[in-house]
Structure 1
Amino acid sequence: MSQSEAHDVKELNLAIDLCLRIGEMLLGNGAGAADVTSTMRAAAQHLGLRNTDIDVTFTQISMSHQYDPAEPTLVMIRAVPNRGYNYEDLTQVDHLVRDLTAGRIDLYTARTRMATIVSTPPRYPRWVVTVSTGLMSAAVGLALGGGPYVVVIAFLAACSIDRVMLWMHRRRLPMFYQQVAGGFVASVFAVGASLTDLDVDLSVVITANIIMLLAGIGFMGALQDAISGFHLTGTARITEAIIATVGIVAGVSGGITFGKALGADWFYYVPGRTGFEEIGVLMLGAGIAAAAFALSAYAPRRSLAPIAVVAAVASGVWRAISEAGADGAWAAAVAAFLVGLVAYEVSRRCGVPPLVIVVPAMVPLLPGLSIYRGLSLLTQGGFMVSQGLLAMVTAASVALALAAGVIFGEFIAQPVQRESRRLESRLAGPRLVGVFRPRTRARRRELAAQED
């Protein structure tokens, strides 16, 4: 191998490594498999890598490229062990990809920026996440019909659960045990409330306490991946969501049993029970909950107010359609379609990917409570099994409606230009993160002339 060929292979390795790092950051921060694949392919094509093979699974990304039929294929794999939400990093990676594909930066500058993004600590201190999580649970408790006591208890419980789970996460305990501990703490707060003279519905108290633990986002994301053609990744996400919810069921059951051992024999609990609030209070609670969730995920501050408005309007539309007699899944689909329709324009004005707007705005609509209710009833056996199956089917239909509504809204909102159809034809579904259009032929000729 000559020196020039070795240099070319080095460039290819650096390019593939950059694409994998981009995909790792997107997948680890909640992006769908279709978005990850399309963004990596757009970056690879700009860097001169044609006909690359990209494989995205739940915990791993691989990319291969055969630069010469007579030489071995270059294959690189990166694992994605940690799953969290850092929308500040997601936004910066999105901007990096846009600058790269537009020709404003080269490979080495992009790698330097990526290293800076990875090594820079979050903008907010960790206690801000704890307070935001408590505020989200309190707002959801308000939207579910809980009174002032429920709101206060939900805030304190959520803050305590977040600290307990953070302590366990730093000791590398699996997520299942963290969910068990969170459910236990939530029920202990409810048991403590039952030992006082507070006039509260203890079932609603527990529901508000565990709202931060529910896996509605994972369940909807799984169905979104399935709709986009990534069935293996979707199945893995569904499994994770169910296991996480089972952990909550076990933790709540253990906390109630512990309370009864302390003398709270009168404790009566209806899994996933909610109250009913007026549409104005519902919209207020949904807006605050969405903005609080976005803040806990380190979303840029400029996006918090728009997220709250979009979530409040979507929740109001959902309630209005439901009260008009429409099926729950159709109401959720219309509300999700509205979110997907406006997210593209809102995100453009805020300078963030649409995913940063969509996910927090969908939090008040997610079917996490139905999943929890269904699994809880299934564990009770007897005639409760049929009700549990009904709740699970309801959760699946609502999650599917939300995913389909968002995707369809994005289809309408994002015009597909003629020069980008070739790239779009390889994918199923629009992108919630990453570039929306690759470079046009005119732009490529302009860059080629500049290089000459």
Structure 2
Amino acid sequence: MRTQTVVAEPDRADDGAPPSPPSSPSSTPSDEAHSAFTPPLGVEQPPLFEDDQPTSEFALPDGAWTEPPAEPEGSAFEVPEAVRPDAVRAHSGAGAGAGLHGSTAYTPAHGVPMLALSKEAPWQDRMRTLLRMPVGDRPVPDTVQRHDDQGPAVPRVLDLTLRIGELLLAGGEGAEDVEAAMFAVCRAYGLDRCEPTVTFTLLSISHQPSLVEDPVSANRTVRRRGTDYTRLSAVYTLIDDITTEETDTTLEEAYRRLAEIRRNRHPYPGWALTLASGLLAGAASVLVGGSVIVFVTAACGAMLGDRLAWLCAGRGLPEFYQFVVAAMPPAAMGVALTLLGPHVAWEGRPSAVITGGLFALLPGRALVAGVQDGLTGYYITASARLLEVMYFFIAIVIGVLLVLYLGVQLHAELNPEAALHTVVRPVAQTLAAVTLSFSFAILLQQERSTVLMVSLNGGVAWVVYAAMHDIGRISPVASTAVAAGVVGLFGQLFSRYQFASALPYVTAAIGPLLPGSATYFGLLGFAQNELDRGLASLSKAVALALAIAVGVNLGGEISRLFLKVPGSGRASSRRAAKRTRGF
């Protein structure tokens, strides 16, 4: 029996009529003649296109985004709402936290929305946003400083970036702000795919020119640290000029200005710092109820401790022993007032004298920076900073305990109940808070133009604390946290409109809130062998210190959420820190 072969008929295809199916199994076409697009038996042949031309595999089929006819409710073939064209347009600007329905946690079919950065926003906000993005999702840098057709010298740009980061980290700036500054300098000179890394003592940065070229890395170690907020402000001004298109800053000009910043002397001489230390201790003693005698005694003790610390520093002793020596004279002054007699002791308030001396030594700047690094996800740097704070605190404890133990052996009447008899004097204490912040700003070597502003900020912080604690009878920890939040909010506001660091506007203003009295009475409890009382007071001091740090950081975050960027009509935003729990 012969097998019948089906032959295609071009004239019938030209007429547009579909071929008739085979009438019997014996007429089944061969594999060579069977097309992949030939419908199976019993399925109607679809009509050809009107132009009688085959559809290109790269052409968008007609009706790909047309709204399909409505299906019955609950149909398994109903088009999901998230893939409809209107849903695509609606979700194109949704954030990463939009929820499970319409969430952009997974890459959507329409792609990831392009990030739009406002040039009117401060460079800190723009760089923080870019740093918390994956390298592949960052937009191509818009080179601000163009001076050579061949591009900048990569090693020189990386070296300049590390030198700027070193000055910022040595001046006490947070790790996130240091990384943002380094990232801003690299992008301003046109380097893409840069990754800065900041730890407590090491700075590193890597640059990968392309996916087929070897990366270039450089690092720098921070050997010495010093508190000079005038130098810190000058570095921020240099970074602002580098990242601004209106200012032409070549690499040679940036190196020259950076060298001038390093060579500049401190704005205040050593004797002015010593007087500021005494003024700070005297003002702090007035805050806790001291009189004129207390003010003078506390100031003398703090100035003597400052000079002894400078002497130890000149002999090369570590900073730990400098704090031990600096804490002893104020405590000795308080014990001496007690030994002079009960009448003089009550008028002099030895507890206020010792508390005032502790205010000048407590490392509030390092504490705030450490907690801020921890809250923003830099846990290694935060651990190192907090460990440094612990060492300083232990040094203060050792210095004060040595003197208090000697005073107990000499039968000095040190009364821990004096903390319950604090005299409330609103006007005098507010002026003392302003004076304390003023002297603290001098010790931090701030610019003269910022001293008045930070002093007023410290006075506002004390008014908020006193109103909540003395009048509202709210716990001191909650009152301290709210007052520190006000300091952080105002400090961030001042810095944003000056395009500068927030540290000069925040650190000195938290001076009146430092837990000096709680620290002293905790140490006194240990010296008198009352461990329960001492542990309770020291725990209160730790809680107050953490409340200050968290409050300052929260105030700064609130300002970024709700305050509008100067020159634009929208609020600044920043992606969240690195997630550690998977949601």
2:451 maps to 1:307? no
Instruction: Rate the CA distance shift 1:98–1:418 in 2: closer, same or farther, 3 A.
Output: same
Unaligned 5+ residue runs, structure 1? 1-6, 429-452
Partner of 1:174: 318
Distance 1:171 1:329, change over 3 A: same
Distance 1:91 1:347 in 2: 10
* Alpha-carbon shift at residue 22 of structure 1 (Å): 1.4
Once the two structures are superposed, the pairs formed by residues 40-439 of structure 1 within 5 Å of their partners are 40-103=182-245, 104=247, 105-196=249-340, 198=344, 199-259=347-407, 264-268=410-414, 270=416, 273=419, 275-322=422-469, 323-347=471-495, 353-367=501-515, 369-370=517-518, 380=529, 382-384=531-533, 387-388=536-537, 390-391=539-540, 394-395=543-544, 397-412=546-561, 414-415=563-564, 424-425=574-575
CA distance in structure 1 between the aligned counterparts of 2:188 and 2:293, rounded to whole angstroms = 56
Q: Check whether the contact 2:462–2:483 (CA below 8 A) recurs between aligned residues.
A: yes
CA offset digits 1:88-134 (Å, max 9, x no partner): 10111111000010031122211110011001111221211111111
Indicate how the Cα distance of structure 1 residues 412 and 373 shifts in structure 2: closer, same or farther if over 3 A, else same.
farther
State the SS of the aligned residue for 2:396. Answer: helix
Contact 2:521 2:537 in 1 (8 A): yes
Task: Say if 1:214 and 1:372, in contact at 8 Å, map to a contact too.
Answer: no
Name the structure 1 match of 2:155: 13
How does the TM-score come out when normalised to structure 1?
A: 0.83
Q: Aligned in 2, Cα 1:330/1:401: closer, same or farther, shift over 3 Å? A: farther
Q: How far did 1:244 drift?
A: 0.8
Of structures 1 and 2, the one scoring higher in RCO (CA 8 A, sep 6+) is 1
Identity value in percent? 28
How many equivalent pairs are there? 419
TM-score by length of 2: 0.66
After superposition, the Cα gap between the structure-2 partners of 1:8 and 1:289, relative to the gap in structure 1 and judged at 3 Å, is farther
| 1:227-261 CA-partner distances (Å, limit 9, x unpaired) | 11111111111111111111111111212344566
Change (3 A) 1:276 1:74: farther
- Using a 3 Å threshold, how does the CA distance of structure 1 residues 194 and 414 change in structure 2: closer, same or farther? same
Paired letter, 1:425: R
Look up the equivalent residue of 1:283 and give its one-letter code: T
Structure 2 Cα separation of the partners of residues 245 and 18 of structure 1: 36
Q: Deviations over 1:246-304 (max 9, x none)?
A: 1111111212344566xx32242649958343222221111111111111222111222
Structure 1 pair 270/172, CA: closer, same or farther in 2 (3 Å)? farther
TM-superposed CA distance for 1:402, in Å, is 2.1
- In our comparison, the structure showing a higher alpha carbon Rg is 2
Aligned residue identity for 1:211: F
Cα distance, 1:396–1:365 mapped onto 2, change above 3 Å: closer
Q: CA contact under 8 A between 2:165 and 2:182: conserved in structure 1? A: yes
Q: Identify unmatched segments of 5+ residues in structure 2.
A: 1-148, 579-583
Instruction: Give SS of 1:383's match.
Output: helix
Q: Which of 130-139 and 49-58 deviates more?
A: 49-58
Structure 1 residues 331-340 or 110-119, which shifts more?
A: 331-340
Q: Give, in angstroms, the shift of residue 357 of structure 1.
A: 0.9
Kept in 1: contact 2:354–2:520 (CA 8 A): no
- Report the CA distance between 1:395 and its aligned residue: 2.8
The change in CA–CA distance for 1:9 and 1:164 in structure 2 (over 3 A counts) is farther
Higher helix fraction: Structure 1 or Structure 2? Answer: 1
Moved more, 383-392 or 168-177: 383-392
The answer to whether the Cα contact below 8 Å between 1:135 and 1:292 also exists between their aligned partners in 2 is: yes
Deviation at 1:170, TM superposition (A): 2.5
C-alpha displacement at 1:370, in angstroms? 4.1
Indicate if the aligned counterparts of 2:362 and 2:514 stay in contact, CA closer than 8 A. Answer: no
Supply the AA of the counterpart residue of 1:302. S
